[in-house]
Structure 1
């Protein structure tokens, strides 16, 4: 829960903006996302004085800055009301302190949603609702639709109780110009605005509200079970903080005392754990004994390094999320690349849930996962064209789920410009097919192993050796049906958005994103020196190519390790981290992207970087002298460093893995994660080429 703020037509993706008028305090948000707002439903707003028309703009500015802690939020409104918020999983507590000289009212707005002002057709709608008041509690539902994932109608139910019986209750509905059913009504419903005004004697009012996707009765049960009448802001805050400590913050501990680094560590852990939402027991679409997770936003953002970190820090939840993806396939037909309000969408590139499943499989996640069903879900992504949902942003094929451009992929082995995002999808489809080959191998489907491993090389079909920029030749470019390459400036992606050949990344970046086949990229770059030259150009800020705020760049600084220049990987990744991350409002290089940005910096702090779908972790440089990571079941990874610090002396001089001297710039899952382990770094201020051993694997290249 939190404030919903409106300012000059600015999208408030998760409700909050630092400036502007508060339009309500609502109970559902997706935190840290971009694209367009989602949710902002089941809203209340404290209003003072006499209200003659509840349909006019009753929003209110702040009197001073908001305050917040984990599990707690506080706003000071210009109308003199102080608002405090705390919550449980399915219920929320609002504490209002009204000025003594003013009439106290709470506006309940069933029709409230977070709006979008971008003009892209992604704004949310209100399709209808109902509010009932029985003198003791109010309950009802709101029907909403659209948003970034273009969801059809979905319903949220609610049930609310006040600490003090209202002296007056008036329910209303209307369209903004006319007003009906305004008075002491017991119920009101309609597709126009619906809500209620509850007026009170006194200055201190507590409002408790439960929600559910199942029914308003279930919302009441959630409320009574999680927020009994004696619950207080303080008790809920303490309970939330205890849970965050036990389940999240305690997973990484350190003896270091650098306040800035500690703040970045734990704030990042917080940010990467806010979504997806565990909706087990709240699935309105089908009955199942499997876990159910929603608010995946999106695997395009998360598969590169976030889901791998979830697998390390939250192995139980990670297994549940894998099972949920497979169950969504069973009942909805496809695994999601993104999902909100119980509906798949939108898919930005490949079917990247495949990568998440492959990552879990190769790292030994078994438990209650039905891997044959999981593999069937992956095969459907790879073989069956999803129905076109006619997304105005990319009407050529489905953006809802699956791989919309699969017809070209199967016919040509590349994707023609008749499909949007043709080149970036081709690179991602290659990675997706590699993921299938990994799981096929483990399950003994040898024919499929060869088939999908071969298909994972199709990204090469987009490589034009004559395309050039910055005195470097060879880049992935669009390709026509007749096989000819289409001219493309490697430094230009057009709008870099839904209708373009590349999505949120330049050709230069995507040419380095076939991470399963890096040996081929090295060969195409004329060997080691050419590969380093290419990476140097990509990472040079003067060339404006690398963008840590967009996920196709995430792995790029670490790619030096594939030619045994781990020192350059550390130099570039540490520069990016220190230049783009910190504490405060500008502490992230853009939207959190559901924790993607936070997980990137967490791996940097830890001193490793995952190659998703493989068991490989590239070695970086840890920030702390001592760090312990809890892996579950009593296992730990101990990381120590000596001789350096995170600002100047951060180059690796030597490394021991489980007491053994190491000469490789990579480790595997089995080395330190499967049963726990120990990494002992010696750091210094001078670059040192200590990685004289075997280079990191490039499995699709045959090595």
Structure 2
């Protein structure tokens, strides 16, 4: 029996009756800043791997704490389960699944100098400190924590290329700041490091390292608000004479005397080119010592970007999930040039200002699915920078980037996923780059004999015994080749259109009609056996972070063709339903990326991200609504473990932003957005030219998850998709929801998304 505390229950009801109207009233007023709804700790638990610290949108600097712990859950250097800090580094990755960067780490301490970082088992054996969550504050552009061991309050903020530290020390004759050029994150290790004392207020140096990116180069200049009393240099933990040192594991220590609550500020500029450019970045971006103003500027920059989509929702939790997701989509790709436009190229040369912002951190296999399409709506200038940066890489290395990081090609992940990103921009009418060069880059990349493309050209498939992850590789190539075909058609290149259209159909060559799944193929008449669609990559190597169930539906470029391949609409419907209920053993060594499971649907990894929207193609949009709404509500929360899988540089969050608004781009290029089940009540999306596209959702509730009617610009709209041009020209879309599936909306063949309207 449940016993109620009636006075407490009555009190709760009164509070709820007051709080909910106040919350609704707050939404009617323009908030001071939408950053109030961003919680950067969302995704710092489970396997989210998000960056935690201070940065600005697409900034070169990601200044944040590094924990002592290492391992997969510490790919960003930080995990919510850890309460240790070994310093504050100026570069981090967000949600990559591979640890790298962590360059130029600063750690304030007091007392006798210790140059080793220590360990979790020996907290006193090095300079690490513990901290308490109650004394940690994380906001867009600002991070604050108290270092328990030293009684130091550490605060961080940034501009695009400069990190700013404010340390509040206790009274001591031994207030230290350790600069550690040895320490990196994950795979990153130093190759050559250098530091020098320039004058009584300035330290400079560089860090060359090898990690996931094999040749990383970061130069820095650090300017201190307080004169340096003592400066010493170390090769790891061994003190060396003089005020400069070049070695593999350079560290330095600066010592001051401080009064109680005295603040010491440091401005650290970074550069991919030179120490001088790092100093110029400081002089230009943060010329004075007003830390609070830099925090305010960072907040304003974030708010400006978040204001591009203003929503109304039923709860504070929904607002936090939405705006934190938007925030996560804008950590990268990040600036990789100096204030004077110079940058370090893949060809290991310094390039001068080219008329665009050079970018890095291209997690293209992930982001081409949603994060890049989101930018085509709300970040038009960023789209041009992105494409121009990739074209510069093409000119320097002879092919488009695969997974580019800090002027290095990592060749991580399968396919050539830069192609759909560039094709999407061209097909959506972007003109801020050389379209002829862009087409040349796409075609040249696709025609090279690398990573299995020689087999694609000769056989139409990649033999499973020739190339690892052959099925995933081949399916991704088909997606990209279809994108080239659509671009060729748009540009009047008929022969290329026909050729790449054929290659876009090669996905069919991986389908085994006897097994009913995509499967590794050895020859024209032989398949890899034994085979089960449940086994992951680590068992027989034909799939990338997934299995046959998930990859059988990786045909977003030709859903109608996939429907036919699987036996028609009725059989496709059954097969798609089965994906969400199938149970099987993925193997003991299954990838950690296979998470967020509904049956064999894996929302924690990108190949599944379009799949819930496929029901619209067979006239059953209510099934899409059910799956999308479940994922939005159950796989995303406002807690630290609130992202169900690896964030992957904004892709997991971009899926949420799109889907909460009510639509998602399934086909990889061209701008056909399939409607699902919005969770917001209204949204105003600012698009280019000062226009606004407004979405109003009527009768929305947890029960009312099915679209009943859509009205586009005052006219009844029966289609279960909307095109990019309808959004960017501005207008209004009203979506009426209900608690039962509509028997008419989006059902007719003419109202479904299809190859014809891609």
TM-score, L = length of structure 1? 0.90
Q: Pick the aligned partner of 1:276 from 317, 333, 348.
A: 333
Deviation at 1:564, TM superposition (A): 0.8
SS in 1 for 2:601: coil
Check conservation: 1:6, 1:12, Cα contact below 8 A: no
**CA spacing shift, 1:414–1:172, aligned 2, 3 Å:** same
TM superposition shift of 1:356: 0.6
The one-character-per-residue Cα deviations of 1:628-663 (angstroms, maximum 9, x if unpaired) are 100121111111121232x21121111112222122
1:587 equivalenced with 2:617 (yes/no): no
Matched, 1:211 2:270: yes
The answer for the alignment partner of 1:439 in structure 2 is 487
1:652-678 Cα deviation digits (max 9, x unpaired): 1111122221222112222x2231122
After superposition, the Cα gap between the structure-2 partners of 1:52 and 1:274, relative to the gap in structure 1 and judged at 3 Å, is closer
Cα 1:293–1:591, aligned 2, differ >3 Å: closer, same or farther? farther
Cα separation, 2, equivalents of 1:682 and 1:347: 43
Gaps of 5+ in 2: 1-62, 119-125, 346-350, 585-598
Moved more, 487-496 or 310-319: 487-496
Query: What is the aligned partner in structure 1 of residue 704 from structure 2?
Result: 649
Deviates more, 1:652-661 or 1:593-602: 652-661
Structure 1 contact 465–475 (Cα < 8 Å) conserved: yes
Q: CA deviation at 1:156?
A: 1.0
Partner of 1:74: 144
After TM superposition, give the deviation of residue 478 of structure 1 in Å. 0.8
Task: For residue 159 of structure 1, report the CA deviation from its aligned partner.
Answer: 0.9
1:587-608: CA deviation from partner (whole Å, max 9, x where unpaired): 1112211111111111111101
Q: 1:454 to 1:8 in 2, by over 3 A?
A: closer
Secondary structure of residue in 2 paired with 1:586: coil
Partner of 2:453: 406
Distance 1:200 1:452, change over 3 A: same
Return the match for 1:666 from 721, 741, 746: 721
- Inter-partner Cα distance in structure 1 for 2:510 and 2:132: 56
List per-residue Cα deviations over 1:519-571 (Å, max 9, x = no partner).
22212222212111111111227563111110011011110000011111111
1:514 aligns with 555
| 1:154 aligned onto 2:216 | yes
Query: Are 1:640 and 2:696 counterparts?
Result: yes
Match of 1:396 in 2: none
- Pick from 111, 117, 121: which aligns with 1:49? 111
Aligned pair count?
Answer: 658
1:14-25 mapped onto 2 (5 Å cutoff): 14-18=76-80, 19-25=82-88
Equivalent position to 1:383, from 438, 447, 454: 447
> Following the alignment from structure 1 to structure 2, what is the Cα–Cα distance between the partners of residues 340 and 605?
31
Aligned position for 1:562: 617
Query: Which fold has the larger relative contact order, with Cα–Cα distance below 8 Å and residues 6 or more apart in sequence?
Result: 2
Question: d(CA) in 1 for partners of 2:117 and 2:86?
Answer: 12
1:364 aligns with 2:420: no
1:104 corresponds to:
175
- Secondary structure in 2 aligned to 1:134? strand
Structure 2 counterpart SS, 1:254: strand
TM-score by length of 2: 0.83
Secondary structure of 1:225 counterpart? helix
Q: 1:506 to 1:269 in 2, by over 3 A?
A: same
> What are the Cα deviations for residues 500-530 of structure 1, in whole angstroms up to 9, with x where unaligned?
1000122111111112221222122222121
Q: 5+ residue gaps in structure 1? A: 117-122, 387-403, 468-473
Kindly provide the CA deviation profile for residues 340-393 of structure 1, in whole angstroms up to 9, marking residues without a partner as x. 111122331110110111111111112x3111111111111211124xxxxxxx
1:53 positional shift: 5.1
Asked whether the 8 Å contact 2:165–2:267 carries over to 1, the reply is yes
**Are residues 405 and 238 of structure 1, via their aligned partners in 2, closer, same or farther at CA, if it must alter by over 3 Å?**
same
Corresponding residue of 2:249: 192
The answer on whether the counterparts of 1:6 and 1:17 sit within 8 Å (CA) in structure 2 is no
**Counterpart in the other structure of 2:286:** 227
Residue 661 of structure 2: aligned partner: 606
Output aligned runs, 1:228-243, within 5 Å: 228-232=287-291, 234-243=292-301
**Deviation string, structure 1 residues 227-259 (Cα, Å, up to 9, x no partner):** 223321x2111111111111x111111344521
> Offset of 1:164 from its aligned partner?
1.3
2:94 aligned partner: 31
CA distance in 1, matches of 2:176, 2:362: 36
Is the 2:92–2:101 contact (alpha carbons within 8 Å) kept by the matching residues of 1? Answer: yes
Distance change >3 Å, CA 668–CA 496, structure 1 → 2: farther
Alignment partner of 1:91 is 2:135: no
Structure 1 CA distance for aligned equivalents of residues 175 and 256 of structure 2: 6
Question: What does 1:253-652 correspond to in 2, within 5 Å?
Answer: 253-256=310-313, 258-280=315-337, 281-285=341-345, 286-366=351-431, 368-386=432-450, 404-417=451-464, 418-467=466-515, 474-487=516-529, 489-496=531-538, 500-540=541-581, 542=583, 544-610=599-665, 611-645=667-701, 647-652=702-707
Deviation, 1:692, is 3.3
Question: Deviation per CA, 1:48-76, whole angstroms, max 9, x where unpaired?
Answer: 10126567632222144421111110111
Give the 3 Å change call, closer, same or farther, for CA 487–47 of structure 1 in structure 2: same
Q: Partner of 2:344: helix, strand, or coil?
A: coil
1:266 and 1:126 map into 2 onto residues whose CA distance is 36
- 2:55 match: none
Does the 8 A contact of 1:539 with 1:546 survive in 2?
A: yes
